Amino acid sequence: MAKKKTLKQQDFQKKKLKVGKPRQQASNVTDTSFSARMISLPNQTRLKTAGGNENGAAAAGKLENDVIKRLSLCKHHSAITRKETLVHFKTLIPKVIRTKCITPMLNSCLPMICDEDAQVRAALLELFEELGQHDQNVLRLHSRALVLFINSSMTHIVPAIQRDSGKFLRCVLRYCGDELVRNSWAKLLKGLFGVLGWSVETSKNAKKSVSIGVKTSSVVSMNSAKAKKAQQSNIETLLEFVKCGCIEQTSDDGHEGVAAHSAYGKYLIPAAPQPFQHLKLFVRELKKNQTGSGSKLEEVLNVTLQDFAARREVLLAYFYDPMVLNASGIIVGGGECGRAASVLKDTLEGIKQLQEAQQGA
């Protein structure tokens, strides 16, 4: 019986092959041919083959390859994978810290300061700790990028990332505090103010804005336990930062010897990487053509402040009043935060006296 072929049957019919004719294309075939002069695969960095003769060198090369292979995992969509990668890096650090792969590793790890997952951030913090313990100079070398990313996280729109930025700053401060306070004193102070929800302009610009000088987010979530804890840690970070930048830790004994040492020091090879960073020879910055239009604080933001006195001056000029005001507010609130704030306030007063004494002298 000649039954009519249904559509379904037609689909499964075998196409007859004919001699001298190309095979018929299926109806759903996708054209994958392309014409390009060049194919670029930017995310596939060329992997170097380890061709070392020595066993140790080969092992090091193998490790390096391993690190480079895993770099792309830093951008993995799954937070767990990212965290695992960071944990793995941490275990490798003692072996690879002197190799070339540390810079690409840091470059791909740094953006994770702004990662949305709290566990990833915690792992990254541990990684930085490990780095700092093994070789401070690595962090010093990358201090500029660190500052930029920490600053970026300080201004992040997600409150959790913002709160955690203090932890990173604290960690980095421990190992390369000098670079931080020299190169980005005002910038980081301003960032910390932002994290704490304090306004830099206390009463000067009151006429301009109706807002109460604090962000709505900080007002709404002010009283949660998490926020309290974060506030406390951030205040402590601020305290450490201020101490690091303003109070010289020189013991006054043997003044002559120290002077002599410093005199030698000029002619020795400097211990820290990038000793002339403050000259900004290789740094790109946009020029501002409208100088004087903004407030003076904006001018100070990108200036490096090499000595303690200058930093104290900037602190007193722009940050002292709002800091004292806000700290006293928190002291009234009491608790752990209040305790930290009171320490901060005392330190600030000490700094003020020190500066006045120096200016008097």
C-alpha to C-alpha distance for 355 and 361, rounded to whole angstroms = 10
Secondary structure in 3-state letters for 129-148: HHHHHHCHHHHHHCHHHHHH
> Is 284 near another protein (CB under 8 A)?
yes
Q: What is the DSSP secondary structure assignment for residue 269, as one 8-state letter? A: P
Q: Does 279 bind another protein (CB under 8 A)?
A: no
Binding mask 144-183 for another protein (x = CB under 8 A): xx--xx-xx-xxxxx-------------------------
CB of 29 vs another protein, minimal distance in Å:
25
Alpha-carbon distance values, 99 to 63, 70, 74 (Å):
10, 16, 19
Q: Which of 51, 287, 332, 357 binds another protein (CB under 8 A)?
A: 287
Q: Is residue 220 close enough to count as binding another protein by CB under 8 A?
A: yes
Q: Which of 210, 259, 281, 332 binds another protein (CB under 8 A)?
A: 210
Confirm if 221 and 159 have CB atoms less than 8 A apart: yes
In the complex, the smallest distance separating the C-beta of residue 210 from another protein, rounded to whole angstroms, is 4
What's the rounded Cα separation, in Å, for the pair 245 and 186? Answer: 11
Nearer to another protein, 35 or 43 (CB): 43
Instruction: Out of 1, 17, 19, 281, point to the residue binding another protein (CB under 8 A).
Output: 1
Query: Under the criterion CB under 8 A, does residue 65 sit at the interface with another protein?
Result: no
Which x/- pattern, by CB under 8 A, does the window 108-127 give for another protein?
Answer: ---x--x-------------
Question: What own/partner pairs with CB < 8 Å and gap ≥ 24 does 111-116 have?
Answer: 111/74, 111/149, 112/74, 112/82, 112/86, 113/149, 113/150, 113/152, 113/153, 113/165, 113/168, 114/149, 114/152, 114/153, 114/156, 114/161, 115/79, 115/82, 115/161, 116/79, 116/158, 116/160, 116/161
Q: Is 216 in the site for another protein (CB under 8 A)?
A: yes
Smallest distance from the beta carbon of 93 to another protein, in angstroms? 23
C-alpha closest to that of 274 among 143, 129, 130, 107: 143
77, containing H or E segment: none
Q: Binding segment for another protein among 53-61, 224-232, 290-298, 338-346 (CB under 8 A)?
A: 290-298
Give the Cα separation of 112 and 149 in Å (integer).
9
Residues from 23 through 62 that contact another protein (CB under 8 A): 38, 40, 42-43
CB-wise, 39 or 259, nearer to another protein? 39
Residues that bind another protein (CB under 8 A): 1, 38, 40, 42-43, 75, 107, 111, 114, 144-145, 148-149, 151-152, 154-158, 190-191, 194, 199, 208-211, 213-217, 220, 284-290, 293-294
